[in-house]
């Protein structure tokens, strides 16, 4: 266990001795802030105009927070590859991966250590997002249960992205290649349910299940479904397991 936390601390320090973590945090704060301002401004304009939905009745959850959480998810889709692309690629490029291979630390401990370090950055990003949401909580009195569910969904979705990003990074020495391929995979998972718009049957059902957004939508509505939890946990556990196997086969 001590080896695991040693790796977490090492990875955490590496993020903050380079501009990577600061750039990601700053970009997220600006982009999420822009989305928050846009959603809130639209909501205020609709309120002053008597409302455009429900004949004058406006719901802060559906009008502001649900779209905001989806936009935050899209932002994570773009930014998380910047976090995961160096996790193994830099080790492979610099040759320090050989030290990990010859150390007494188990492969799964290394994988978990890197994952937990990146997950810590994800939590920091969501803390920034929570700052914007708290403004709505203070003035708008939204459904708090739905907010907790939405943040749980963001944690699970972000964790899935990180686990898959670690796996892709373990296959290449080039950080740029790792980042591009990771982003492409995230984007495909995000739009997979588009197939259901022009198709039906088994194939359409498979793509709908693989879609990140299909499962995330329930969380934004305050619904926590077992099948959605299984989906995200399967991606996380599967991604970490395959990364550990990849590193074993690379020896």
pLDDT in tens, 150-189: 999 999 999 999 999 999 998 888 899 999 999 999 999 8
**12 with 119: CB under 8 angstroms?**
no
Among 15-19, 77-81, 239-243, name the one with the lowest average pLDDT. Answer: 15-19
* CA–CA gap between residue 114 and residue 119 (Å, rounded): 9
Q: Where are the domains of the chain?
A: 2-249
Q: Could you please report the per-residue DSSP string of 116-153?
A: HHHHHHHHHHHHHHHHHHHHHHHHH---HHHHHHHHHH
**CB burial string 111-136: b at 16+ within 10 A, e below:** bbbbbbbbbebbeebbeebeebbeeb
Helix locations, the chain, DSSP H:
2-17, 20-48, 60, 66-84, 89-94, 97-102, 107-140, 144-169, 175-191, 202-210, 212-220, 226-249
Three-state secondary-structure class, residue 31? helix
Q: Which is more confident, 150 or 100?
A: 150
Q: What are phi and psi of 168, to 5 degrees?
A: -65, -40
Residue 134 has pLDDT above 80, yes or no: yes
Tell me what the pLDDT averaged over the chain comes to.
85
């Amino acid at each position: 266990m001590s080896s695991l936390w040693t790796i977490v601390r090492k990875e955490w320090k590496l993020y903050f001795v380079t501009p990577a973590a600061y750039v990601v945090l700053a970009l997220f704060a600006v982009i999420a802030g822009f989305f928050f301002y846009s959603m809130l401004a639209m909501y205020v304009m609709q309120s002053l105009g008597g409302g455009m939905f429900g004949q004058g009745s406006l719901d802060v959850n559906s009008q502001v927070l649900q779209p905001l959480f989806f936009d935050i998810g899209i932002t994570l889709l773009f930014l998380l590859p910047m976090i995961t692309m160096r996790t193994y690629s830099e080790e492979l490029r610099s040759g320090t991966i050989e030290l990990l291979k010859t150390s007494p630390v188990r492969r799964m401990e290394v994988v978990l250590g890197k994952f937990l370090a990146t997950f810590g950055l994800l939590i920091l990003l969501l803390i920034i997002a929570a700052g914007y949401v708290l403004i709505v909580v203070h003035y708008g009195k939204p459904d708090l249960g739905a907010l907790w569910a939405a943040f749980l969904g963001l944690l699970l979705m972000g964790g899935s992205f990180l686990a898959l990003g670690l796996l892709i990074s373990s296959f290449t020495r080039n950080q740029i290649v790792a980042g591009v391929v990771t982003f492409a995979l995230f984007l495909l998972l995000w739009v997979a349910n588009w197939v259901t718009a022009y198709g039906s049957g088994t194939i359409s059902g498979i793509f709908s299940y693989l879609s990140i957004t299909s499962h995330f939508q329930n969380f934004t509505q305050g619904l926590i479904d077992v099948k959605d939890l299984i989906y995200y946990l399967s991606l996380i556990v599967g991604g970490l397991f395959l990364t550990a196997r990849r590193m074993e086969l690379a020896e």
